Structure 1
Amino acid sequence: MFQDSRWVGGTWDLKQFQKDGVTHWDSVIDAEVRRRKWLEDNPESSSNEEPVLFDTSIIPWWAWMKRFHLPEAELLNGRAAMVGFFMAYFVDSLTGVGLVDQMGNFFCKTLLFVAVAGVLLIRKNEDIETLKKLVEESTFYDKQWQASWQDENSSSSKDS
């Protein structure tokens, strides 16, 4: 059974997470993450004798944003800035069009769009594999459809 002195009556005792009279939400999130990891590794059946009453909605939305979304946004913004700088330098070297003049050039705007789309779609290396699987899955049914017509056409040509 999960054991933590701050887990009382099926929920987190928020008074035990207070520092200077204010609840330290990052500590609550850390404790809940550890509890869920423990439950993944040690599944236990639920019972009415000891129900889980904790609801993640008691943690304010801004605590979740600060904890999980802002670091991801910083990572994406940093990558976008690096890719953008490289693309501007690359286009300048390739075409001789300076950074300011690139804003009015269709080719440069297209490269900017491709760079931003790439940063948004490929956040981690695993995303490349996910996109490959998505492409395979999207073409799978088309391949099946084509194969069904090929079988029908080949059997009708044999009958003739």
Structure 2
Amino acid sequence: MDAKWVNGTWDLKQFEKEGKTDWDSVIVAEAKRRKWLEDNPETTSNDEPVLFDTSIIPWWAWMKRYHLPEAELLNGRAAMVGFFMAYFVDSLTGVGLVDQMGNFFCKTLLFVAVAGVLFIRKNEDLDKLKGLIEETTLYDKQWQAAWKEPESSSSTVSSKK
């Protein structure tokens, strides 16, 4: 097995080049590991679980490796979402698929669909996105709360008089 495989996952620090992770090398190493496992099946146990999750690899790295399963999954989802959006626009507007390609609104919907598939790869990604939205609005709520006068102080001042 590869020396970069440590405790059930790839040690990403060993894949660094010029201070950045070389995702192409990670993908190649994972493909070789899986091919080796196909050729040399072995029993597994819970003592040494595989913790590596391919979704940590950025989408742009998969785009160069379109023939691998993760990239195939993303491309398939993007195609189905795109087809559904085209069908949806056709049913709403009566504009056929060929005519949609020249329409700015349809191109925008296509961009949104592809971006959505790339950013939301699993259900957990939706939870992360919700957490990010809550975090960004938290600071705004704190800012707004800092400028509000406390309601209890105005009622206590009037009751003392």
Asked if TM exceeds 0.5, the reply is: yes
Question: Which of 104, 107, 110 in structure 1 is aligned with 2:108?
Answer: 110
TM-score normalised by length of structure 1:
0.57
CA deviations over 1:30-72 (Å, ceiling 9, x no partner): x643x3239xxxxxxxxxxxxxxx9446xx9754233354343
Deviations 1:99-144 (CA, angstroms, capped at 9, x unpaired): 1100111221221122112112211100111111101100111111
Larger Rg: 1
Q: Equivalent residues in 2 for 1:6-21 (5 A)? A: none
- Alignment-mate amino acid for residue 110 of structure 2: L
- Per mean C-alpha deviation after superposition, the further-off stretch among 147-156 and 93-102 is 147-156
Give the one of 26, 30, 34 matched to 1:64: 26
Tell me the residue number matched to 1:37: 8
- Count of residue pairs brought into register by the alignment: 115
- Comparing 62-71 with 131-140, greater Cα deviation is found at 62-71
Match of 2:126 in 1: 128
Q: 1:113, 1:61 → 2: CA distance?
A: 25
Which structure 1 residue ranges, 5 or more long, are not aligned?
Answer: 1-26, 39-53
Q: Whole-Å Cα distance in 2 between the matches of residues 100 and 127 of structure 1?
A: 33
Q: Which residue is equivalent to 2:146?
A: 148
| Displacement after TM superposition at 1:80 (Å) | 0.6
Task: Report the Cα offset of residue 156 of structure 1.
Answer: 7.2
Find the aligned partners of 2:23 and 2:123 in 1 and give their Cα distance: 29
The aligned residue for residue 83 of structure 1 is 81
Give the whole-Å Cα distance in 2 for the aligned partners of 1:56 and 1:105: 44
Q: 1:56 to 1:119 in 2, by over 3 A?
A: closer
| Counterpart residue identity of residue 78, structure 1 | G
- Deviation, 1:93, is 1.9
TM-score by length of 2: 0.57
CA distance in 1: counterparts of 2:23 and 2:104, whole angstroms: 41
With over 3 angstroms needed to count, the CA separation of the structure-2 counterparts of 1:122 and 1:62, relative to structure 1, is: closer
The counterpart of 2:99, out of the listed 92, 98, 101, is: 101
Give the aligned residue type for 1:64: V
Q: Which residue of 1 aligns with 2:136?
A: 138
User: In the TM superposition, what is the alpha-carbon distance from 1:81 to its structure 2 partner?
Assistant: 0.8
Distance in 2 between residues matched to 1:141 and 1:81, nearest whole Å: 37
Q: RMSD in angstroms over aligned alpha carbons?
A: 3.1
Local SS of the residue matching 1:151 = coil
